[in-house]
Amino acid sequence: MIVIMKILAVGDVVGRRSIEYLSKTLRRTAASLGADLVVVNGENASEIHGLCKADAQALLDAGADLITLGNHAFGSRDLYGFLDDNTDVVIRPANYPAACPGVGCTLRRVNGLRVLCMNLSGTAFMEQLDNPFVAADRLLEREKGEYDIALLDFHGEATSEKLAMGFHLDGRVQIVFGTHTHVPTADTRILPAGTGYVTDLGMTGPTNGILGTDAEAVLYKMRTRMPVRFTVADGPIEAQAVLFTLEDTKPHRCVKVERVTF
Ligand SMILES: [Fe+2]
């Protein structure tokens, strides 16, 4: 079989130092892996709670072809216009109310194929948005016949909900990957009907903090339950990502799911 596409999905970028890190490493890594499309979750890139317009542009300049978001999608007001004006390069969870800025899915053309890229938020231990399973069905039905390949960034807290989404979409989309927890899971796999899956990509951020956040601040909060301002941790940064390889079957299938750390 012929490889038709490789898609690199990069875990949640935590803080501006991590954007700088990607600006030095992402293009080179994507090229060496032969990635045709690079998807980066950027919702924590502007110092944890959100993404501002300048940092969205910096992620694109660093080599992200598409930015996905999550529960902090609307953390920076200055991104609202950018979300509406750049729906081909940045998407937010589709199960937010329709009145919110931006869109929840976009069509990209890669290697002559139409790739439907979707973003949804989980609702287990998260904000009570529209049912993401119903929202996924609705998106696929709406875009029926318009795409050759489909992928989903499912931004969720609960491993069970993310795995359930993988099975819900198994055989109907090529790729489902989870984001949000900042902890890379060891379950890269092909689901029974052929969907490439991982519960969580992990993060792009400082490894000696707690989920990328300064450990002292988090520990203060845990010990005292007092309000505290979280900051991004110092120290070395690592990018945690997953590479999905698709082959020219009918329908196109994901045949390999590999962890990539750089
Ligand atoms: Fe998140």
What are the Cα distances from residue 167, in Å, to 161, 186, 222, 253?
Answer: 10, 17, 35, 15
Q: Tell me the catalytic residues.
A: 72
Mean pLDDT for back-to-back runs of 10 residues, the chain (262 residues): 95 97 98 98 90 97 98 95 98 97 98 97 96 98 97 98 98 98 98 97 96 95 94 96 94 95 98
Cα 86 from Cα 76, distance rounded (Å): 16
Q: Looking at residue 251, what is its pLDDT?
A: 86
Cα 35 from Cα 187, distance rounded (Å): 21
Q: Looking at residue 249, what is its pLDDT?
A: 86
Asked whether the bond before 236 is cis by omega within 30 degrees of 0, the reply is: no
Domain boundaries, the chain: 3-205+237-261
For ligand 1, the distance from its centroid to the CA atom of residue 75, given in whole angstroms, is 11
For ligand 1, the distance from its centroid to the CA atom of residue 207, given in whole angstroms, is 17
For ligand 1, the distance from its centroid to the CA atom of residue 43, given in whole angstroms, is 7
This prediction's pTM: 0.97
Q: Looking at residue 34, what is its pLDDT?
A: 98
For ligand 1, the distance from its centroid to the CA atom of residue 196, given in whole angstroms, is 22
Cα 123 from Cα 239, distance rounded (Å): 26
- What 3 state SS string does 100-133 have? CCCCCEEEEEECCEEEEEEEEECCCCCCCCCCHH
Are 212 and 21 within 8 A, CB to CB? no
For ligand 1, the distance from its centroid to the CA atom of residue 173, given in whole angstroms, is 23
For ligand 1, the distance from its centroid to the CA atom of residue 70, given in whole angstroms, is 5
For ligand 1, the distance from its centroid to the CA atom of residue 117, given in whole angstroms, is 18
For ligand 1, the distance from its centroid to the CA atom of residue 248, given in whole angstroms, is 33
Specify which residues 10 forms β-bridges with.
40, 241
Q: Exposed (0-12), middle (13-18) or buried (19+): which is 144, by Cβ within 10 Å? A: exposed
Cα 177 from Cα 75, distance rounded (Å): 23
Cα 144 from Cα 129, distance rounded (Å): 24
Q: Look at the domain 3-205+237-261 and name its fold.
A: Purple Acid Phosphatase; chain A, domain 2 (3.60.21)
Cα 95 from Cα 56, distance rounded (Å): 21
Q: Looking at residue 1, what is its pLDDT?
A: 79
Encoded tokens for 69? 């978001």
